[in-house]
Chains A and B, each alone.
Chain A
Amino acid sequence: MSVKIRFFARFRELLGSDIMTDVAAGTMFTPLITTVARKNPEGYIAIFDEKGDFREFVILMKNGKRIDIADAAKTPVTDGDEIAVFPPVAGG
């Protein structure tokens, strides 16, 4: 199955955006983003701390709905999902 990962702002500059990736059934949110972010060490460090946890300011979305960082490790992704990862917003 495949999902789309979208990074925004500084994360997009480091890791790209609209990344289509094939994942195995049962893949959870956190390991998916970990794998993709590791393609650029600077991008990984921007999103994850030294323990491999999402930094507290990182915002996660699945199909336009926010996912709590605490729930990301146990949130599965499914075919066709759109995953978004971005830093704090600064509009207005």
Chain B
Amino acid sequence: MISIQTDDVDIGGLIQAAKKQGTGAVVVFDGIVRDDDITEMELEAYEDVATQELEKIAKDATEQFRLLHVDIIHRIGRLAVGENILIIIVAAGHRKEAYAGSRFIIEAIKAGVPIWKKELTKDGGRWVPGDHRHGKPKTT
């Protein structure tokens, strides 16, 4: 499942569904709204383009790390502290590929997928500064 959506997901159900034949490891990344003295977080996406880019990232990760299953669910809208923002579920034959595939996916999302976060505070709000590398890979 590749999705940008407002609703939360059943992570347990996704883990069960990820266990395809040959699976030896499932890695779950769950990014959540951190309590940085904020009241809520507002997320916005260029949805059509972001979904296409998530699909490409999943395809690239599957090929590069021989993954058996990939879910990427990125939530948008208003989220409270502690809520899930991004869920990545990766299944592979072995832990090495599963961990590497999961890491590849989260770094690719942070580098280039058009999604933005605004931290809402008692005094207003502030946009979370994004990466200025325009999707180019990190050099360090």
Contacts and interface: CB of A to CB of B under 8 A. Distances in A.
B100 interface: no
B117 interface: yes
A91 B86 contact: yes
Contacts, number: 77
B112 interface: yes
Chain A interface bracket (under 10, 10 to 19, 20 to 34, 35 or more): 10 to 19
Contacts of A90: 110, 115-117, 127-131
Interface residues of B, number: 31
A87 interface: yes
Contact of A64 (B49, B131, B132): B49
Interface of B: 31, 43-46, 48-50, 52, 74, 85-86, 106, 109-118, 127-132, 134-135
18 contacts: A8-B116, A9-B127, A12-B44, A59-B114, A61-B46, A66-B135, A86-B116, A87-B127, A88-B134, A89-B113, A89-B115, A91-B45, A91-B110, A91-B117, A92-B31, A92-B85, A92-B106, A92-B110
Interface of A: 6, 8-10, 12, 56-57, 59, 61, 64, 66, 84, 86-92
